[in-house]
Amino acid sequence: DAMVIQNPRYQVTQFGKPVTLSCSQTLNHNVMYWYQQKSSQAPKLLFHYYDKDFNNEADTPDNFQSRRPNTSFCFLDIRSPGLGDAAMYLCATSPGGSGYTFGSGTRLTVV
């Protein structure tokens, strides 16, 4: 039973057209993270929510935003995707301690 679910698994979007990626969890974890992973690179943290508190990494572009309407859901919005935003986007959750659970990721293609 998947506990961190990301939809869709694959997303194709047009250059400049806003796109939203979704993550949901059944673990009731306090913390939800979004990572960007480009080909052959390490996952890079974009931002995270600790409950409702939003924490943005200093080098996350303004083009990326996030929403967490409730404990279970977190969304990644890319306002104007560029070719350089093509990547795998990974959602993860944590109870705030040591355990992290990752979703299967959404692979974003920008055409």
Partner 1 sequence: GEDVEQSLFLSVREGDSSVINCTYTDSSSTYLYWYKQEPGAGLQLLTYIFSNMDMKQDQRLTVLLNKKDKHLSLRIADTQTGDSAIYFCAARGRAGTALIFGKGTTLSVSS
Rule CB under 8 A: is residue 102 a binding residue for partner 1? yes
> What are the Cα distances from residue 3, in Å, to 26, 91, 93, 100, 104?
5, 11, 9, 11, 10
Backbone angle region of 99, left / alpha / beta, with phi > 0 → left and psi within -120 to 50 → alpha: beta
Rule CB under 8 A: is residue 8 a binding residue for partner 1? no
Judged by beta carbon, residue 47 or residue 110, the one nearer partner 1 is 47
Q: How far apart, in whole angstroms, are the C-alpha atoms of residue 88 and residue 43?
A: 9
Identify residues 52-91 at the interface with partner 1 (CB under 8 A): 55, 90
Least distance to partner 1, CB of residue 107, Å: 7
Judged by beta carbon, residue 16 or residue 99, the one nearer partner 1 is 99
Among 42, 69, 70, 83, binds partner 1 (CB under 8 A): 42
Q: 68 near 76, Cβ under 8 Å?
A: no
Binding site for partner 1 (CB under 8 A): 6, 31, 33, 40-45, 48, 50, 55, 90, 92, 94, 96-98, 100-105, 107
